[in-house]
């Protein structure tokens, strides 16, 4: 399993964010495979990008929120 990718909250779901995810998936052999982003809210904001065709996790994400 690969290390989770840390994503600043401000970047989450932006175009560069999706471009990065797509590149990661492509590089791992999931070119043109349908993918879904599955989220878990706590305790940190963790998400998993899954390939629906391969039924496997492509990459795990952790959204980093700015400290208050
Ligand atoms: Zn795949």
Residue 40: band (very low, low, confident or very high) from pLDDT cuts 50, 70, 90: confident
% of the chain beyond a pLDDT of 90 = 74
What separation in Å is there between the alpha carbon of 9 and the centre of ligand 1? 26
What separation in Å is there between the alpha carbon of 59 and the centre of ligand 1? 12
CA angle 23, 27, 32 (to 5 degrees): 70
Is the model more confident about 34 or about 68?
34
What separation in Å is there between the alpha carbon of 51 and the centre of ligand 1? 5
Chain length of the chain: 68
* 19 C-beta neighbours (distance < 10 Å), count: 10
Secondary structure, 3-state, 7-23: EECCCCCCHHHHHHHHH
What separation in Å is there between the alpha carbon of 10 and the centre of ligand 1? 28
Q: What is the pLDDT of residue 65?
A: 83
Is there a contact between 48 and 41 (Cβ–Cβ < 8 Å)? no
Mean pLDDT confidence for 24-28: 95
Q: What is the pLDDT of residue 6?
A: 93
Say what the pTM is. 0.83
Closest residue by Cα to residue 64 from 48, 51, 47: 47
What separation in Å is there between the alpha carbon of 67 and the centre of ligand 1? 36
How much is the mean pLDDT over the chain?
A: 90
């Amino acid at each position: 399993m690969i290390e989770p990718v840390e994503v600043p909250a401000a970047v989450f779901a932006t175009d560069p964010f999706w471009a990065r995810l797509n590149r990661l998936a492509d590089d791992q052999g999931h070119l043109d495979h349908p993918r879904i982003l599955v989220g878990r809210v706590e305790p940190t904001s963790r998400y998993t990008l899954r390939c629906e065709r391969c039924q496997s996790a492509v990459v795990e994400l952790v959204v980093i929120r700015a400290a208050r």
